[in-house]
Amino acid sequence: MGHQKKLRVVELFAGVGGFRLGLEKANKDLFDISWANQWEPSRKSQDAFECYTRNFKDGIHSNEDISKVSDNVFQKLVPDLVVGGFPCQDYSVARSLSGEKGIQGIKGVLFWEIERILKNSHPKYVLLENVDRLLKSPSKQRGRDFAVMLATFHKLNYNLEWRVINAADYGHAQRRRRVFIFAYKRDILFDREQRNFDKKEIVFKEGFFAKAFPVKEDPYLGRISDIEELPTDRVDISDNYSFGFHTSGIMRDGKFLTAHTDPVYMEPTPLRDILLDEEEIDEKYYLTEDTEKKFEYLRGAKKVERTTADGHKYFFSEGGMSPTDSLDLPGRTMLTSEGSKNRSTHIVEVNGRKRFLTPIECERLNGFNDNWTAGMTDRMRYFCMGNALVVDLIATMGKRIEEIEKLSETEIVQLGLF
């Protein structure tokens, strides 16, 4: 078989480049990240963008508000694959007054930028990442936002799969749950091949995610729904629709099946495996006596009386958590507040001394190379890692895309089109 054709990739909301690093780990020769955008609206210093450009030399690096990048740019880029981790926002839509524009979403919602980019560039594949609460938001109308997204992809002529993946379930060092969405154009070879299977077979065995991240044969507690039709009018969905989406699913031709899949667990990487040698740890990362006391309080059980603005008294209570993080377990989900005096910050005890994780250890929790974010303040390094994704999950997905591409090439060769 001839030389594999490169896939042109556009990376949106690139952060410090987790998607790119993962794809390059999977196959640097296949994925050509030709254009990447990272812009932090409220900050003067663009730390993540600078980190990205320091670690990746080739391709165009865009540091402007994505909504100001013209349609023309995306028409010229002609990507095969668009990737990005976008924030969970409010997806409500309304009909525009003139009716000409069709629908209008709330300004500044980045998903509408994704829609615009797909409309202008028609990639074969789209791979997105988001917090798992996307499936249940907003709380007053659960599942509405995700249904609006599904309807949008359907309208743009894509089928898609989704899966909530906890990185620790598949051997990694952090219990980080995120929803991943893989969309593909209808009628490409992969889509035609997938049509040999019913929706349940795809979710449990034959699909994009099931082959890369295996699950048990039966849904957890029998949670599965096969829905004939998703409403196509996004305004109607926005106004009226709600649905309890499960952790996995497929939408094909506007019909979807969703199930609570149960992972086939791989032994996770324990926290101790990613720690630096103690002699490499700067004294500033160790807890002082005062800080220790503060964390004992933060991580302890508490019941505190609070008063609302209108004078209503209530008790805020939370359960206790262990004073330090177990070195035999994977880390908890790292948040952007990591390293600050916050209940969610990791505290490890080594040789009888308690300390924070260092920025390098946080990079390792996400599978980045040591010192990937060097050059920023510690605060920003923690913040960027709290925002990042687990690189090796993307590497696994990149390998899966490579398999799909190889399959397409073999098929083209067999059809005698070469």
DSSP conformation letters of 81-94: EEEEE-------EE
Rounded Cα distance between 342 and 226, Å, is 42
Domains 7-266+390-414 and 271-387 share a fold: no
Q: Which residues contact 81 (CB under 8 A, 6 or more apart)?
A: 7, 8, 9, 10, 31, 123, 124, 125, 126, 127, 401
Instruction: Please list the residues that pair with 334 across neighbouring strands.
Output: none
Give the predicted TM-score (pTM) of the model. Answer: 0.94
The first and second tokens of residue 132, run together, are: 């798992």
Q: Which CATH class is domain 271-387?
A: alpha beta
CA angle, corner 376, sides to 12 and 178, nearest 5? 40
Hey, where are the domains in the chain? 7-266+390-414, 271-387
Cα of first residue to Cα of last residue in the chain, in angstroms, is 10
Strands 313-318 and 93-95, by their bridges, are unpaired
| Long-range contacts from 87-94, C-beta under 8 angstroms, 24+ separation | 87/13, 87/130, 88/130, 88/131, 88/133, 88/134, 88/137, 88/145, 90/138, 90/145, 91/144, 91/145, 91/148, 91/149, 91/238, 92/144, 92/148, 92/238, 93/148, 93/234, 93/235, 93/238, 94/235, 94/238
Instruction: Give the catalytic positions in this structure.
Output: 88
Q: Which CATH class is domain 7-266+390-414?
A: alpha beta
Helix (H) / strand (E) containing 384 = helix 378-387
Give me the tens of pLDDT residue by residue for the chain, a chain 418 residues long: 456 789 999 999 999 999 999 999 999 999 999 999 999 887 788 999 999 999 999 999 999 999 999 999 999 999 999 999 998 888 999 987 766 566 788 888 899 999 999 999 999 999 999 999 999 999 999 999 999 999 999 999 999 999 999 999 999 999 999 999 999 999 999 999 999 999 999 999 999 999 999 999 999 999 999 987 899 899 999 999 999 999 999 999 999 999 999 999 999 999 999 999 999 999 999 999 999 999 999 999 988 888 888 889 898 888 999 999 999 999 999 999 999 999 999 999 999 999 999 999 999 999 999 999 999 999 999 999 999 999 999 999 999 999 999 887 776 656 555 4
